[in-house]
Amino acid sequence: MSTFSIFGGIGQALSNPQFRLFWIANGTATIGRWVYRTAVMWLAWDLTGSTTWLGAMAFADVFPMIVLSVFAGAISDRIGYARVIKAMQLCYVVVGTGFTLLIFFDVITIWLVLALTICHGIIEAMSTPPRLALVNALVDRKDLSAAVALNSATFNACRIVGPGIAGPLLVMVERGVITADVIFAIATVAFIQFYVVMFFLPAKGAGGEGKISMDLIRDMKEGMAYVWREPGIRFLMVVLGVTGMFIRPFMEMAAGYADLIFGLKAEGLAIIVSSIGAGAMVSSLWLARRGRTEGLTRMTTNSFAFLGVALFLFTLTDEVILAVPLLFCIGYALLVTGTAAQSLIQNAAAPEMRARSVSFFIMLNWGMPAIGALAMGWIASFAGLQVTIAGGAVIALLFWIWSNRAGKSHVEQLEGTGEAKR
């Protein structure tokens, strides 16, 4: 028995050395992104004290996913995943350096934060489809579900570690021990190491057979038509759209919620984000250890019932200690939906359409929260955060009634082995 085999699907995925190198470097960079995001949320709230501004900042950071992710998927399929990742990772370094210098010279304003956040959103939109699709080139098909789940587990472990690093540092900023530029410098170093590692990963089997041309428009149209005509994938896109619009945006309100409801600032923000990340990490690790596609469709839909109840109960308490286990449950349910849906999409999609299919996943799973956060921030400014978030919980419960029935008809397409697609 090999060392890796005792960890089930996780060990099988990590037994691929190229994936293992990618997993370590990408995980380190993701910690940097969560340090960065936590610091930006804190900075926006510290400069304005406005839920509307928090919503606008979330919109600016995530909305490019809606506009650019399909283009990113098409161009990644055409010129290669590794090329796009390297170019975008260098851009991450530039944005992180920009934040560091602006804060160091004490010239940062909310408008400059907004401008850099828009840049960051564009980079994220362009880099995420190839980062997710690259996994297919680094593992065997039998290890794909485990590798996707392990990536999600790592993302959510970083959602704990990143704020866990940023939270104490932000407390030190509030106490005048350090300045915020130190936090952004740490994040930038994490971006640099991933950029370097990408030069050691092969590009074979990771897109790149074509060139940039006007055919990209055709590729994007083909991707859209493919997602629409595949009923199983189309169903998953509806699920992700509802999640992104009505459920996920409450996470973007975390800085305001921590202050207004729990009476905490940096500490409360770190607790909220880390608690959600802990639940998400546990669910992703379980899915990775499980290591198979069968049953993921049912998990994707049933998680809405669990999510709706946990989110509604969360809005009924103003005690952070009571909120922590509920936040854990919310994170668990959110990642069951997201990770299972991503695994199913990658399993069901034809190889030549994989990055484009993943780009629609990204557009809805990460892009729709931008619209939801903008609306939620505005509604919360007069209805209150608790009432606004509770409304999303009710919608989750109502949606489960439909999705639980509709999902059963797509199990064969989404969970099939599809060896011909490889």
User: What's the token pair of residue 60?
Assistant: 């600016």
9-201+215-417, what's its fold? Growth Hormone; Chain: A; (1.20.1250)
Tens place of pLDDT for every residue, the chain, 422 residues? 444 444 556 777 788 888 889 999 999 999 999 899 889 988 998 898 887 888 888 788 877 877 787 788 778 777 788 888 999 999 999 999 999 999 999 999 999 999 999 999 999 888 888 888 888 778 777 777 778 778 777 776 776 678 778 878 888 888 888 889 999 999 999 999 999 999 887 655 555 555 555 566 777 788 888 888 888 888 888 888 888 788 888 877 887 888 888 888 777 887 887 788 788 778 877 877 776 778 888 888 888 788 888 999 999 988 888 999 999 999 888 888 877 887 788 778 877 777 678 777 777 777 677 778 888 888 888 888 889 989 988 988 888 888 888 888 888 888 875 443 44
**Residue 107 backbone phi and psi in degrees, to 5:** -120, 10
d(CA 221, CA 35): 36
HSE (CB half, 13 Å, CA atoms) of 411? 12
Contact 358, 73 (CB under 8 A): yes
d(CA 126, CA 71): 8
Q: Is 130 helix (H, G, I), strand (E, B) or coil?
A: helix
